[in-house]
Structure 1
Amino acid sequence: MNKNIIIEALKKIHYPGYSRDIVSFGVVEDINIDNITIIITLKLGSNNQIKDEIKNNI
C-alpha cells in the first residue's frame, strides 16, 4: 500500500454539500503509512456533522 493508492481512494469521497472531493478541496493534510496502520490527517472546521460524514465515508 502506498500514498498514491490512498489518495486515489480519497478522491472518491466528496466534501459534503459540494461536488469536489476531499483531496482537491485541500482537506487531506497528511497520510502516514506504518506497516498495517494508515493514519490520515484531515484539516476540517468545527462543523461536527461534516466531520462525522467524512469520517464515515473513509
Structure 2
Amino acid sequence: MIVTALHRHPVESLLGETVTRARIDARGLDGDRRHRGSEVSGSGGAGGVRPSGSWP
C-alpha cells in the first residue's frame, strides 16, 4: 500500500528540508534518508520495517 500526502503549507522535515508532499510505502517515507537501507520483514512492528544500523 502506498499513501501520498500533500501538505497545504510546506513543512520542514527533521533533516531541515522543506517538504510539500510525502509518499509513504512499506519501506518508509520516500526521500527520507533515515529509511535508506531498511529491511522489510514479513511480520510485526509498524509495517514490518526494521532499520539497519542506528538512528541518527
User: TM-score over 0.5 for the alignment?
Assistant: no
Structure with a larger share of its residues in helix: 1
- TM-score, normalised to structure 2, is 0.31
- TM-score, normalised to structure 1, is 0.31
Q: Which has the larger radius of gyration?
A: 2
Greater relative contact order, per chain length (Cα 8 Å cut-off, separation 6+): 1
